[in-house]
Chains A and B, each alone.
Chain A
Amino acid sequence: MSRIADAFARARADGRAAFVAYLTASYPDDERCLAAAEAVLRHADVLELGLPFSDPLGDGPVIQRASEAALAAGAGSERTLDLVRRLRARTSKPVLIMSYYNPIYCYPGGERAFVRAAKAAGADGLILPDLPPDEGAELIAAARAVDLDTVFLVAPTSTPERLRLVTAACRGFVYAVSVTGVTGARADVPAEVADLVNATKAVTDLPVAVGFGVGNRASAARVAQVADGVVVGSAIVSALGRGEDLGALAADLAAGCARTA
């Protein structure tokens, strides 16, 4: 069982949703990113580390700005992989790399080489929101060959046919996007998210984690009622940018995931 599958299974056994936390790699710099990851992982079950991209068209303003700042300070593939390596030395929790396709495509040696490098660094999975499984045959094959999980996204607009196609390409978990839109905390998570989670669970046995728009304990708790996992990104990155105590925020979000709102 992969570290990711294991983390979801353990959360399920505890009667809570898994807490998946996102951080932009090298933001605000490598050391503070690493410290933030450690602080968050005291409460989170899974970490998504964002390899920054110059044109993150699936992201809202918070992650756009964090990516720009990280890139301006020299972030990129090698430093992200290095952060994964350093994190792997400090935690046994699963770490996924989240990015866009071009940095992976352009990696020296191509996507196969990136997948191998990610695995060697200690990553457990890969999420690329602009690579639907239809275009990802080569990446999926490369990931299977080294046992790296591939997480694809389902959306409120996904047809039943697409839900089957996307979930069949997933390993570890399925990422359900709560709203049509980009990343970023919102006032609330729409009630229809339950419909998407249920429709997804009807075609797969994999755990389903919900992301986009979850930013506080209350919304985490609402999502935790219907999903196997809760993904929080912008709210954490935003707090990190303001220099706030991430431990307190992560504890609060974890309480939401434990359905104790």
Chain B
Amino acid sequence: MQVPTIQGSPREAGATVRFPLPDARGRFGRFGGRYVPETLIPALDTLESAYLAARQDTGFMTEYAAALRDKVGRPSLLYLARNLTERLGGARVYLKREDLNHTGAHKINNTLGQALLARRMGKRRVIAETGAGQHGVATATAAALYGLECHVYMGEEDVRRQALNVYRMRLLGAEVVPVGSGTKTLKDATNEAIRDWVTNVRDTFYILGSVVGPHPYPMLVRDFQSVIGREVAAQLEAAEGRAVPDAIVACVGGGSNAIGIFAPFAYLGERRPRLVGVEAGGHGVASGMHAASISGGKTGVLHGSLMYLLSDAGGQISPPHSVSAGLDYPGVGPEHSYYAEHGIAEYVPVTDAEALDAFELLSRTEGIVPALESAHAVAHAIRLAPTMGKDQVLVVSLSGRGDKDVAEVLRLRSGAPLEPTGTAAAGEPTGSRVDGGKGAAA
């Protein structure tokens, strides 16, 4: 199948220039769709028409743009990482600083958009799923701003691991509902959020946090997050005199920050930069303990959408593993699945150990503590930049800040002093969860 292209600058893609996919049936090629119980189908129809009307409505789009500016603090910086560039000795490395957004990650771009849509549709109650708690905090924040009742589903395991974010959500007025079924993590929280929505569909808006789920969610979340890529194009034009970099690297769990930064560049045809999605390789794809749905999975259906998925031969969902709770999801959005199948983007795994090394390296070289999710993207940039020319430009999506991960990294590195990058993996204490990976090739 021919990949559709769009004309014009990526500065406009997703705004005045519409993305060519999904098609009318909510498909990106063969991926996507609406695999949900009948009860939800009419609600998805209503949501789709409400959104399509809203994005034609100047009043709505102006209010959303104002919210991104005044409540998130956009545009976020495009920061030339001089020390890292010098250390890697290749391409000029820019960091797209989503970590500087209000609430500390890219998630708020989407939750404000969906909360405004909920209000426009007259829904007073919103629900969300969350893994690490970032989407839950961003949803609770939007709900507080717009006076909506908010319930956040979170796996019991994540409630335990992310106690601080649980408190933040409660502080913001949300009710956090622990989920004890299945693996007690993000996928189960998503199941429970869908069960809530099936039950309360008439008065509830489901604020989904990633580019997954039934149509129109992958489109909705992509559109709201695509502000990241549009800003990159505009900022790069100012800084480098060119809107399109040579390569963009972003971490991929469900894939929302990656789609946000990729999509404005993905349909440029010949002008398209190299797009690299970095999946959570956990203990290594060969170990089976990972969350790399494209590198180590196959196609299947979960949470309403056909996509790459981790499931066993019998079609049961395999529990994912990643040191980063935000990437600890067994599927990857349908648009990424389409990009992978059609060579629009490439997807590579980075292990827990490599991500931890990159977490430390970025902290030391640039004074920026990245989220463990974003550290996966940094780890691949560390590999990629030295292979590129000094006149080339590499943009890394720094999707979130690492404050939330400091305690977990301390636990993982406990006993062992922080080693210089490249030897940390070898210095791992026996019994650590992180093993089998190689040190980052700095």
Q: Give the B-binding residues of A (Cβ under 8 A).
A: 53-58, 60-61, 64, 68, 71, 76-78, 100-108, 129-132, 134-135, 152-159, 162, 166, 177, 179-182
CB-CB under 8 A from A181, the residues of chain B are: 39, 195, 198-199
Q: Of B39, B302, B317, which one neighbours A180 at CB under 8 angstroms?
A: B39
CA–CA, A57 and B198, complex, Å: 9
Are A130 and B36 in contact, CB atoms less than 8 angstroms apart?
Answer: yes
Are B195 and A132 in contact, CB atoms less than 8 angstroms apart?
Answer: no
Closest chain B residue, CB of each to CB of A101: B301
CA–CA, A176 and B25, complex, Å: 25
CA–CA, A156 and B37, complex, Å: 12
Residue from B188, B194, B195 with most neighbouring chain A CB atoms (10 Å): B195
Assuming the A-B contacts A129-B37, A166-B38, are A105 and B300 also in contact, with contact meaning beta carbons closer than 8 angstroms in the complex?
A: yes
Are A53 and B316 in contact, CB atoms less than 8 angstroms apart?
Answer: yes
Q: Of A104, A156, A158, A182, which one neighbours B315 at CB under 8 angstroms?
A: A104
Assuming the A-B contacts A57-B195, A158-B42, are A107 and B181 also in contact, with contact meaning beta carbons closer than 8 angstroms in the complex?
A: no
Are A54 and B38 in contact, CB atoms less than 8 angstroms apart?
Answer: no
Query: What secondary structure prevails in chain B residues at the interface with A?
Result: mixed
Other than the given A54-B316, A77-B314, A156-B39, 18 more pairs (CB < 8 A) read A53-B315, A55-B187, A55-B191, A58-B37, A58-B195, A60-B195, A64-B181, A76-B314, A102-B309, A102-B311, A105-B299, A106-B315, A107-B314, A129-B37, A130-B35, A135-B34, A155-B37, A162-B41
Are B315 and A77 in contact, CB atoms less than 8 angstroms apart?
Answer: yes
Q: Which 7 A-B pairs have the closest CB atoms?
A: A106-B315, A103-B315, A155-B39, A76-B314, A181-B199, A54-B316, A102-B315
CB-CB under 8 A from A53, the residues of chain B are: 315-316
B314-341: CB near A (< 8 Å → 1, else 0) gives 1111000000000000000000000000
Q: Of B33, B191, B317, which one neighbours A102 at CB under 8 angstroms?
A: B317
Q: Can you name 16 A-B pairs with beta carbons within 8 Å? A: A55-B191, A71-B316, A76-B316, A78-B314, A102-B316, A103-B314, A105-B299, A129-B37, A130-B36, A130-B37, A130-B304, A132-B41, A153-B38, A155-B38, A162-B42, A182-B199
CB-CB under 8 A from B187, the residues of chain A are: 55
CA–CA, A179 and B188, complex, Å: 23
Are B302 and A102 in contact, CB atoms less than 8 angstroms apart?
Answer: yes
Residue from A53, A54, A77, A132 with most neighbouring chain B CB atoms (10 Å): A54
Assuming the A-B contacts A57-B191, A130-B301, A135-B34, are A105 and B315 also in contact, with contact meaning beta carbons closer than 8 angstroms in the complex?
A: yes
Write the nearest CB–CB distance from B300 to chain A, whole angstroms. 5
CB-CB under 8 A from A179, the residues of chain B are: 199
Q: Of A55, A68, A104, A180, which one neighbours B202 at CB under 8 angstroms?
A: A180
CB-CB under 8 A from B298, the residues of chain A are: 106
